[in-house]
Amino acid sequence: MEDINVRELIETALNMRRMSYTPYSHWNVGAALLAADGTIYTGCNIENAAFTPTNCAERTAFFKAVSEGVKDFKAIAVAGGPDGQWDDLPFCSPCGVCRQVMSEFCKDDFRIFCAQSVDKYTEYTLPEIIPDRFGPKDLLG
Ligand code: THU
């Protein structure tokens, strides 16, 4: 039994691309992060003229959730592509920094859906996208 409404999660990520602030890359990414209690935290990428302060969609979603006291997650859907392209998106997977942020809060069963449309997506678990990760256990035991 699928305990995750993958379609709803992907639709939310696709819609969030419209909120992206991307005057430099024109590459819009949306994310939808499913918490253990069923709440979906949304995110988009937010760029900056100084470039390095840019925040990815995935981290926006995580930081929104954590800032509201939520630290238990099941899955995230991510969708990205160029300005003006809303269908049949290219494959877009989380950057290394976002994978590290996932490592901080998520366990091995956390699922990542890289979506190109509601019907076309690639699914990973956390260890698949960041094997041998450095995480809280390394410092806290
Ligand atoms: N980006 C994300 O938001 N998430 C990803 O998974 C890949 C990259 C953003 C960062 C930047 O605003 C733009 O996409 C181009 O790298």
Q: Where are the domains of the chain?
A: 6-140
Q: Which residues line ligand 1 (CB under 6 A)?
A: 22, 25, 27, 29, 45, 47, 54, 56-58, 78, 80, 92, 94-95, 98
Separation of alpha carbons 133 and 141, rounded Å: 14
CATH classification (class only), 6-140 = alpha beta
Given ligand 1 and candidates 54, 97, 112, which is best to mutate, with the most ligand atoms within 8 Å of its CB?
Answer: 54
Percent of the chain scored above 90 by pLDDT?
A: 97
Kindly report, residue by residue over 61-99, the tens digit of the pLDDT. Answer: 999 999 999 999 999 999 999 999 999 999 999 999 999
Look at residue 3 in the predicted model and tell me its pLDDT.
87
Distances (CA, A) of 21 to 54, 57, 78, 85: 10, 10, 16, 15
Q: Is the model's pLDDT at 116 over the cut of 80? A: yes
Ligand 1 centroid, distance to 37 Cα (angstroms)? 27
Of all residues in the chain, what percent are helix, strand and coil, respectively (each to 5)?
30, 25, 45
pTM higher than 0.95 for the full model?
yes
Contact criterion met (CB below 8 Å) for 76 and 58: yes
